[in-house]
Structure 1
Amino acid sequence: MAACTSGSPGAQVKPGGRSFTVAAAGDVLIHPELVEQAAKDAEKTGEGQAGLDFGPLMAGVKPVISKADLAICHMETPVGTPKGPFEGYPEFLVPPQILTTLKDVGYDTCSTASNHTYDHGLKAVKRTLDAMDKVGLGHTGSARTPQEAEQINIRDVNGVKVAHLSFSWESFLNPTPEKERWAFNRMSTDEIKKAEARARKKGAEVVILSVHWGLEHYNEPSLPQLELAERLTKETGIDLVIGHHSHVVQPIQKLNGKWVAYSLGNQVARHSSPTGLTEEGAIGWFEFRETADGWDVDARYRTTLVDIPPEVEAGDKAPEGAVEEHRVVDVQQVLDSPGDLSDDRLARYRLADDRTRGFLHNRGAPRGDGLEQLSLGK
């Protein structure tokens, strides 16, 4: 079934029709500072594995993520073994303990195709997917064998068969050898069409596509992004496109009757040179309702922010009221219940809220298409 334009003529919800919600967030990128935070938190909580607990870092988004019928993350990097060694940019190898936390906060499945998928070769690809299987996280975009590369991730969501696909451009730093080109899905309109056809043949009623594309640190989609989005929404039956890679928020737009989230920013990251924008992200929230002709989809969002403690010289104290730990924050929840937070902290959350709204709306989504902030009370 193809997506039906929300609010379009004839787009009437089917009596007794099925419905489900999808939450999708930005890149999960575990930099070394976040590993250090997980070690500090494990000392306090006594939980986690092998001295690392990512639970406190991610707890702020659990009320949103766990509320969705289907929650999709983007696991950008391969994982190592629980005790390390770990590596940051440019060839990531991160603790597998983050996968346990992603599952605990409510994620059901993750896209794994990115320019970092092959940072440590096929062995790390296999280790990552094995670890995801172990904790019960679905995955799509990379594969351990040529046979697995042909499989489609289809999940039953409230009685609806939903397929999740994942494609990416390839890293120029670590290109996959020709004999292992099946190890992850490279960006190609033709290959995406073939994957959608396989999904439909296997009974998928809704197809969601995650794409790793665009330019880093640009809040506007690039021309190739716009051109590919046009082709995908016009030439395929894909129902929803979720973008990653820029590490900053880009617009959510309805194009040819289908929602495209060009980039949801970072769900969690700690770049070596934080820009302010790289800490801001969005959880996209999409409500699918069955109609006589397909699916009517409404889009909402929830702003997130990664709190980063200020850097201070040894022996010095951070300013009173400053951030003390790395934490992923649900911005609206904090603004609704600020408690005794300092004026400076609240100003930072308001900036994130205002700026994210502006970037998300920058290609006209509010004008008749209904993109709004998600209220957890609804």
Structure 2
Amino acid sequence: MGRIVKMFLAGDVMLGRGIDQILPYPGDPTLYERYMPSAEDYVRLAENVHGHIPRQVAPAYVWGDALAELDRYAPDLRIVNLETAVTTSKSHEPKGINYRMNPRNAETLRAFRIDCCTLANNHVLDWGRKGLIETIESMNGICIAATGAGRNEAEAQTPAILNVADGVRVLVFAAAMPTSGVPAKWAAGEKKAGISFLKDMSNTSVDAVAHRIASLKGPGDIAALSLHWGTNWGYRISQKEIAFAHALMDHAGVDLLHGHSSHHAKAVELYRGKLILYGCGDFINDYEGIPGHKGYRSDLALAYLASLDAANGGHLNALSIIPFQIRNFQLRSASSEDANWLQDTLTRESCHFGVRFVASDTRELKLVREVARID
């Protein structure tokens, strides 16, 4: 066994709107939503359900118990999908829901010691191309790598290259698909700022990803693709999505597929030794108090802790999941009951791929691979 790379992966990190209002430098709360005129309304919604939320909290507040848990695991890399524009732009896209965080609050990301934010998603352009460029500049200002968006197509498709000990590199590519609500007009162009966009799940898209990876990937490198795809709700994974995920690994050189967009966790697959996370769910958001979809338990946030063998083509060595619950805009350790619910749910959804999960006394879920797949 060669160099083991320990990675923390999470789904959508939404630090705008209501959460931005409780951070040290709340931005303009004006919204352009049908029912909510102010971001402060989302703070009040959460307080109506779970009690008082402090204001002007320390940058690390939202991460709560996750801070100590990640320090205990000591990952080499921390990667999330930042589903928030970091900008003061007032040029909102007329799309109904727009997320933004004051750039002065970007220290919240650094407080969690994040190494890389992927930006290819359906909210990073909520405040126009000016807002996107300010988001990229904000990431540069706090020394966090960003990928999946850029001032032009070449920059948007350039991966974050993360160096790990012993000369190992993790190449993080990112892209978004229309199934997650991303309009084609958001795609970056030769002279147009935007995101890395894959218009469909065709062989042409696989070839495009393969070209990007082949141009940079060397021996011992791990290529991760962070993919914003699929709908917000529902566990179903289509045969087309499965075939696309497999093709990305078989033909494009992807070693790890980091999927997100769904507000709740979806199935996990171990395909030919490599990890596919079909949907990681939200890691932090301001949705407390919003009714509907309770059965999906989107209040539960999952930290995926993957160990990959760099000397063995990025094959998975181990996967643990630590569950948290979002309360008062803060990540708190999930209860044993919640951990058991997640164990049952993830096993139910993943058993089709020959994967199940077992829960430890510390509420940590561990992946166990079965020999048989259930079709």
Q: TM exceeds 0.5?
A: yes
Preserved contact between residue 61 and residue 328 of structure 1 (Cα < 8 Å):
yes
Give 1:1-378 correspondences, 5 Å limit: 13=1, 17-38=2-23, 51=56, 53-66=58-71, 67-81=74-88, 90-159=97-166, 160-170=168-178, 171=181, 175-176=185-186, 183-187=194-198, 188-200=205-217, 205-271=221-287, 272-273=290-291, 275-276=293-294, 277-291=297-311, 295-307=315-327, 325-331=328-334, 349-364=335-350, 371=357
Deviation at 1:180, TM superposition (A): 5.5
The more displaced of 170-179 and 123-132 is 170-179
Secondary structure at the aligned position of 1:199 is classed as coil
Match of 1:21, as an amino acid?
Answer: K
Indicate how the Cα distance of structure 1 residues 293 and 25 shifts in structure 2: closer, same or farther if over 3 A, else same. closer
Q: Distance in 1 between matches of 2:231 and 2:330?
A: 26
Shift of 1:149: 3.0
Residue aligning to 1:4: none
How much does 1:228 deviate?
A: 1.8
Contact 1:290 1:296 in 2 (8 A): no
Q: Indicate if the aligned counterparts of 2:160 and 2:172 stay in contact, CA closer than 8 A.
A: yes
Distance in 2 separating the partners of 1:30 and 1:176: 21
Task: Output the amino acid matched with 2:343.
Answer: R
Q: Which amino acid aligns with 2:260?
A: H
State how many pairs are aligned: 319
- Tell me the SS of whatever aligns to 1:117: coil
Aligned residue identity for 2:231:
L
Q: Rate the CA distance shift 1:145–1:367 in 2: closer, same or farther, 3 A.
A: closer
Distance in 2 of aligned mates of 1:372 and 1:99: 36
Distance, in Å, in 2 between the alignment partners of 1:284 and 1:208 is 14
- Answer whether contact 2:222 2:310 (CA < 8 A) is retained: no
Greater than 6 Å deviation, 4+ residue runs: 84-88, 374-378
Which amino acid letter does the alignment assign opposite residue 141 of structure 1?
Answer: G
**1:16-63 residue CA offsets vs partner (Å, 9 max, x unmatched):** x3222001011112353323333699xxxxxxxx95644212132112
Q: Secondary structure at the match of 1:162?
A: strand
Secondary structure, aligned partner of 1:154:
strand
Counterpart in the other structure of 1:344: none
Name the SS of the counterpart of 1:175 in structure 2: helix
Gaps of 5+ in 2: 27-54, 199-204, 367-375
Alpha-carbon shift at residue 140 of structure 1 (Å): 0.7
Q: Is the 8 A contact 1:107 1:137 kept in 2?
A: yes
Mapped partners of 1:97, 1:260: distance in 2:
35
For 2:103 and 2:220, the matched residues in 1 are separated by 30
Distance 1:85 1:350, change over 3 A: farther
Taking the aligned partners of 2:225 and 2:121, their CA distance within structure 1 comes to: 13
Unaligned 5+ segments in structure 1 are 1-12, 42-49, 308-324, 332-348
How much is the aligned-residue C-alpha RMSD, in angstroms? Answer: 3.4
> Given that residues 219 and 359 in structure 1 are in contact (C-alpha distance below 8 angstroms), is that contact kept between their aligned partners in structure 2?
no
CA contact (8 A) 2:147 2:173 kept: yes
Aligned equivalents of 1:147, 1:218: Cα separation in 2 = 34
